[in-house]
Amino acid sequence: MGADYKIILEGVDQVITSAEDDIKTWTLSETVSGLSVVLGIYLVVVLKILPAYMERRQPYKLNNLLIIYNGFQVAYSTYLVFIYTRYLFYFGIITTRCPKGQDLQDVITEIYPYFIAKHLDLLDTVFFVLRKKDSQISFLHLYHHSCMVSWTWLHLFHHPTDHFVVVGLLNSFVHVLMYAYYGIAALGPRYARFVWWKKHLTKVQLIQFVLVVSDLYYQQKLTPCPIPMFFHYFCMTSIITFFILFMNFYVQSYRNRRTKKDICEQKEAEVVKSE
């Protein structure tokens, strides 16, 4: 009787433990369906609805709104840097603990702020359209935002994990710098001298991508609980593509501009010399 009672108790303990470890997640099809709705609304709004609305209107300045928005983004990104730095301090750069149950629920709680941040970033495109900054709404811009939102949907709803803490930390740090730049630029021409470091921001982004790819590779290789391979390849492909597109943007924006400037200066010098 005592042995039977002990077996029953052990069975109950196993059921309780299993229930505690079970975190309900969405299937891949459910995740993709929800994500498709969000991205569909985003792209229709910024590529169709708002451009049609702005077609016969003058661009909005939005200076005060942009100062508030960018200031909030700096503060929020700083908060993300704090919580992910704290996590790395406790569990290391390559996390190998495979959180489950309440432990995993705590991880999910810290994924939510990043998930929200990637959706708030979509307002960048809305403001570009309202200000008629059409050159800013490039393939790179739309692709980058769409990929990051897709990443966070897969991460939060389909496969929550602490696999991407370093990614969140690095990306949030870059966003502190990026939105600080946008915020200062929104203050007006008088503050233009304080944003001389614009081109260096792209260099920081390129360095970020190299670090992120390295971390994703070793995290997947060394962890005892790797993420699904399709998700890993999606993340790696996204970051490598970002690097290529941002590098192309850097070359087109700064290297070529510098070359044209040097050619103009050389021609002016030849003209002066001939005189």
Assign 228 to helix, strand or coil.
Answer: coil
> CB–CB of 156/111 below 8 Å?
yes
What distance in Å separates the CA atoms of residue 174 and residue 183, rounded to the nearest whole number? 14
Q: What is the pLDDT at residue 264?
A: 43
pLDDT of 5 strictly over 60 = no
- Rounded Cα gap, residues 164 and 150, in angstroms: 14
Mean pLDDT of the 63-79 span: 97
Q: How many helices (H) and strands (E) does the chain have?
A: 11, 0
Which residue in 39, 17, 35 sits closest to 26, CA to CA? 35
96 and 220 Cβ atoms separated by less than 8 Å = no
> Would you place residue 14 in the very low, low, confident or very high pLDDT band (cuts 50, 70, 90)?
very low
Q: What are phi and psi of 274, to 5 degrees?
A: -70, -25
Over pLDDT 70: what percentage of the chain? Answer: 85
Whether the per-residue pLDDT at 63 is higher than 80: the answer is yes
> Where residue 255 falls among pLDDT bands split at 50, 70, 90?
low
pLDDT for 188 equals 86
Range 214-239 average pLDDT: 97
Give the span between the Cα atoms of 94 and 222, in whole angstroms.
8
**Separation between Cα atoms, residue 15 and residue 9, nearest integer Å:** 10
Tokens 């980058």 locate to 144
Residue 270 has pLDDT above 70, yes or no: no
* Predicted pLDDT of residue 20: 42
Q: Helix, strand or coil for residue 223?
A: coil
Q: How far apart are CA 193 and CA 176, in angstroms?
A: 19
Residues 11-30 have a mean pLDDT of 63
Residue 211: pLDDT band by 50, 70, 90 thresholds? very high
Which pLDDT band holds residue 259 (cuts at 50, 70, 90)?
Answer: low
Query: For the CA atoms of 134, 139, 140, 141, what is the dihedral angle to 10 degrees?
Result: 50
Residue 17 has a pLDDT of: 37
Assess whether pLDDT exceeds 60 at residue 1. Answer: no
- Say which residue, 184 or 1, is predicted with more confidence: 184
Taking CA atoms, 4 is separated from 11, 12, 18, 108, in Å, by 11, 12, 21, 39
